Amino acid sequence: MRQLEDITAVLKISIINDSDQVIAYHLEGRLVGPWVDELRRLGEEAFAQNKKLTLDLEGVRFADHHGVALLQELSQRRVSQFNCSQFLIQQVKELTR
C-alpha cells in the first residue's frame, strides 16, 4: 500500500511572486518522491538566474526523508522558508544532528 501512496502523492507548486530578483513559491501537499526532484530543479533554476528563492510551506502536510533533506539543504543555501509547521521544523532539526 505504501507504494500506491507515493504514486498518488501530489505537491502543488504555485508561483506567488516572480521578479528579476526574487521568486517565491507556495507549496501544498506532500513533498515526496518525484516532487522532491521537481522542487530541487526549480531551486537550481532560480539560483542559475541569480534570484533569491522563497518557499511558503504552509500547505505542506508531509515530507519524506528526501524532502526534509532538501529543505535542510535549501536552508543552508539561504532559501527563505516560512509558514513551516512545527513538525517539519523538528524534522529538519533532527536531520542536522
State in words which class domain 2-96 has.
alpha beta
Give the tens place of pLDDT for each residue, 29-46.
999 999 999 999 999 999
Q: What is the pTM of this model?
A: 0.86
- Domain layout of the chain by residue ranges: 2-96
Which phi and psi (to 5°) does residue 87 adopt?
-60, -50
| Nearest Cα to Cα of residue 79 among 28, 25, 38 | 25
**DSSP H helices in the chain:** 2-8, 34-48, 65-76, 86-96
For residue range 12-30, what is the model confidence (pLDDT) as tens digits? 999 999 999 999 999 999 9
Average pLDDT over residues 64-86: 94
